[in-house]
Structure 1
Amino acid sequence: MHSHLLPGVDDGVTSPEETLACLHQLAAWGIQRVITTPHVSQDWYPNTQDALLKGQVMLQALVNEHQIPLTIDVAAEYLLDDLFLNLLRADQLSSFGQQKYVLFETGWAAAPVFLNEIIFHLRAQGYQPLLAHPERYTYYHNDLKPLAELRKAGCLFQLNWGSMTGRYGRRVQAQAHKFLTNTWVDFMGSDIHRPTDLNLFDQLVSSADYHLLKQQPLRNQELLLKK
């Protein structure tokens, strides 16, 4: 879960050929179900739910045509902006899994305000909040208390493969180690944007913290269950 494999809708893959390269490799690793999550944001990628559903049909037809043993779902990675709040109020968020997980990210410049209130409203409407790659937000690097409060409020965390390999720098790698030590990783995600990102997998399984990853309460496996 958490990838950008719908061609041309965000900063992920740009062609069906790139999508196929990624899907072939994921299937070769034994992955059976892919939940790809295009960006949804007001200013950059205002993708609609209808467009994402059409994308799911297109991707499933693509894997069927090429006989790749995968099931494809399309959800979203939402930026917390006015578009997200409008979709939340209208109960039109794209979720995945039986728990109705909603994957969201925050801005990079500063910690979001009213995040606990947003988590409350998500849960009140039957969604399970899931924060994308919290180890990458620099405003949390020197203080884990806000993250602990988010978990207490019912927010789950998703870690990126690349964070454990140094892809985003040493500080992010160190923060990922803290998450693993605290067993705060609920989902592991690739955050694949292009075929070259696949090279990180070998680095992941050989990383010093891989043994910690195996101790996490990961929920990825439950996504194999039918809706």
Structure 2
Amino acid sequence: MHAHLLPGLDDGAESMSQALAMVRQMQQLGYQKLILTPHIMGDFYKNTPAGIKATLTALQTAVQQEQIPVELECAAEYYLDEWFVQKIEEKEPLLSFGANYVLIETSYINEPMRFQDIIFQIKSNGYKPVLAHPERYSYLFNRWNHLVEWHENEVLFQVNLNSLTGYYGSESKRIATKLVEHKLIDFVGTDAHSEKHIQFLQKLPATAAFKKLQQLPLRNQTL
């Protein structure tokens, strides 16, 4: 429920051939369904629901032609910027997945202004906020209580599987492992931008947190 495989929309797959290669590799790892989530950021990735859906249709057609047995859907990864706030305030429909879940992200180094207010507005519009990779935000590395409070305020957490392998560094691995131990994870995702990310997933079963992760009541199974 978090992968950047739709070609040409963001910093993920650059071409249809690359997207197909990534879909094939994920299917070989055992994935049966992928919910693809390109970035929507006012400054960089000005994607629209219509454009994302059109690219999804093209990839679905290519996957069928290649006879790869994987189901594809789409949503988006929304960056919490002024453009997102405008969408919420104007009640513009958001690309959600599952039971009206909306995937959101923040700056990696700066805590977003009005975070709690934005979360309140998301929920007031009938959506359920899912914070992408909370273990990767450096402003939270030494603010464990913030994470606990956010989760208690019904902000769902999605952890990147490769964080548990150490791909993003020791601090992200530490936080991800702690989130597993405290059962504060609602979703897991690959956040795959390239074939390298997918290949790195092969190291996941060797991690100490993998068995504990499998025992959590993850919401991925409801999608």
Q: CA deviation at 1:141?
A: 1.0
Match of 2:96 in 1: 95
Let me know the Cα RMSD of the aligned residues.
1.1
Gaps of at least 5 residues in structure 1 are none
Secondary structure of 2:192's aligned partner: coil
Runs of 4+ in 1 over 6 A off after TM superposition: none
Q: CA deviation at 1:211?
A: 1.6
CA distance in 2: counterparts of 1:95 and 1:36, whole angstroms: 11
CA distance in 1: counterparts of 2:172 and 2:27, whole angstroms: 28
Matches within 5 A, 1:185-204: 185-204=185-204
1:150-192 deviation per Cα after TM superposition (whole angstroms, max 9, x unaligned): 1111110000011001111111111111101110111110000
Gaps of at least 5 residues in structure 2 are none
Match of 1:153 in 2: 153
Q: CA deviation at 1:217?
A: 2.0
Q: Which amino acid aligns with 2:52?
A: L
Matches within 5 A, 1:174-189: 174-189=174-189
Say if 2:82 is the partner of 1:82.
Answer: yes
Residues 159 and 185 in structure 1, CA contact (< 8 A), matched pair in contact too: yes
Sequence identity percentage: 41
Say if 2:113 is the partner of 1:108.
Answer: no
Match of 1:54 in 2: 54
Q: Which amino acid aligns with 2:94?
A: L
Residues 184 and 216 in structure 1, CA contact (< 8 A), matched pair in contact too: no
Residues 183 and 215 in structure 1, CA contact (< 8 A), matched pair in contact too: no
Match of 2:221 in 1: 221
Residues 161 and 200 in structure 1, CA contact (< 8 A), matched pair in contact too: no
Q: CA deviation at 1:126?
A: 1.0
1:31-66 deviation per Cα after TM superposition (whole angstroms, max 9, x unaligned): 221101001000010111110111121111111111
CA distance in 1: counterparts of 2:153 and 2:117, whole angstroms: 9
1:169-227 deviation per Cα after TM superposition (whole angstroms, max 9, x unaligned): 1111111111011101111100000112111221111112112211222111111xxxx
Match of 1:134 in 2: 134
CA distance in 1: counterparts of 2:88 and 2:205, whole angstroms: 37
CA distance in 2: counterparts of 1:87 and 1:52, whole angstroms: 17
Q: Which amino acid aligns with 2:84?
A: F
1:4-52 deviation per Cα after TM superposition (whole angstroms, max 9, x unaligned): 0011111001111111111112222332211010010000101111101
Counting matched residue pairs gives: 222
CA distance in 2: counterparts of 1:178 and 1:71, whole angstroms: 32
Secondary structure of 1:150's aligned partner: helix
Q: Which amino acid aligns with 2:129?
A: P
Matches within 5 A, 1:203-214: 203-214=203-214
Match of 2:23 in 1: 23
Say if 2:142 is the partner of 1:163.
Answer: no
Q: Which amino acid aligns with 1:87?
A: K
Residues 55 and 74 in structure 1, CA contact (< 8 A), matched pair in contact too: no
CA distance in 1: counterparts of 2:101 and 2:125, whole angstroms: 12
CA distance in 2: counterparts of 1:143 and 1:193, whole angstroms: 28
Say if 2:73 is the partner of 1:73.
Answer: yes
CA distance in 2: counterparts of 1:217 and 1:149, whole angstroms: 20
CA distance in 2: counterparts of 1:83 and 1:16, whole angstroms: 29
CA distance in 2: counterparts of 1:114 and 1:167, whole angstroms: 30
